Amino acid sequence: MTLLLSLVSIFGALINLGGPGNYLHLGFVQISYGNLSVIIILIILFVLAILVPFPHRKGGDPR
């Protein structure tokens, strides 16, 4: 978990959110780099939540 937080902090430090907005233009889609970084982080966390198994008890009652 600490590694993930470190990676998010490093990724967040790469984008300056204190100045005027910088935008990515893809045809009719226009999105700021700050919002794009948040969306990418949320997608990564969603995929990790699906792929990482839940902890479970070994042996005993399956409840």
Residue 62 falls within a domain, yes or no? Answer: no
Residue 34 falls within a domain, yes or no? Answer: yes
In this prediction, residue 27 has a pLDDT band, given cuts at 50, 70 and 90, of very high
User: Sign of the C-alpha dihedral, residues 4, 42, 45, 26?
Assistant: negative
What is the pLDDT at residue 48? 92
What is the pLDDT at residue 55? 78
Domains identified in the chain, total number? 1
Q: Where are the alpha helices (DSSP H) in the chain?
A: 2-13, 33-51
Residue 3 falls within a domain, yes or no? Answer: no
Chain center to CA of 13: 14
Residue 24 falls within a domain, yes or no? Answer: yes
Nearest-angstrom CA–CA distance, 56 and 58: 6
Residue 47 structural domain: 15-51
Instruction: Note if the pTM is more than 0.85.
Output: no
Residue 1 falls within a domain, yes or no? Answer: no
